[in-house]
């Protein structure tokens, strides 16, 4: 599969270092602000509900 992709004009293989510098351009949302509460609710700005799914498990008071 990798060999077939390299035959496409303009395709190059990125090193690990160059992969880490790639910045996505998209819909302008910061998904790092999204998360899950211990009760399984999505936390963060309103758009997080569209991009994040949380397990519906209550984990607030579990002993470690």
1 part of a folded domain: no
pLDDT band at 9 (very low <50, low <70, confident <90, very high): confident
Instruction: Tell me what pLDDT residue 5 has.
Output: 63
14 part of a folded domain: no
41 part of a folded domain: yes
53 part of a folded domain: yes
Average pLDDT in the chain: 79
More confident residue, 22 or 6: 22
Burial of 29 (0-12, 13-18, 19+ CB in 10 A): middle
- Give the domain range for residue 51: 27-63
Instruction: Give the mean pLDDT of 19-41.
Output: 80
Instruction: Give the mean pLDDT of 15-28.
Output: 74
Looking at the structure of the chain, the number of domains it has is 1
Instruction: Please count the other Cβ atoms lying within 10 Å of the Cβ belonging to residue 54.
Output: 17
15 part of a folded domain: no
Statement: residue 61 has pLDDT above 80: no
Statement: residue 64 has pLDDT above 80: no
Helices (H), the chain: 2-6, 16-20, 48-51
**CA 34/CA 45 separation, integer angstroms:** 7
């Amino acid at each position: 599969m990798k060999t077939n992709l390299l035959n496409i004009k303009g395709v190059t293989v990125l090193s690990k270092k160059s992969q880490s510098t790639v910045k996505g351009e998209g819909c302008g949302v910061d998904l790092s602000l999204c998360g899950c509460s211990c009760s399984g609710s999505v936390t963060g700005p309103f758009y997080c509900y569209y991009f994040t799914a949380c397990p519906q498990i209550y984990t607030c008071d579990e002993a470690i």
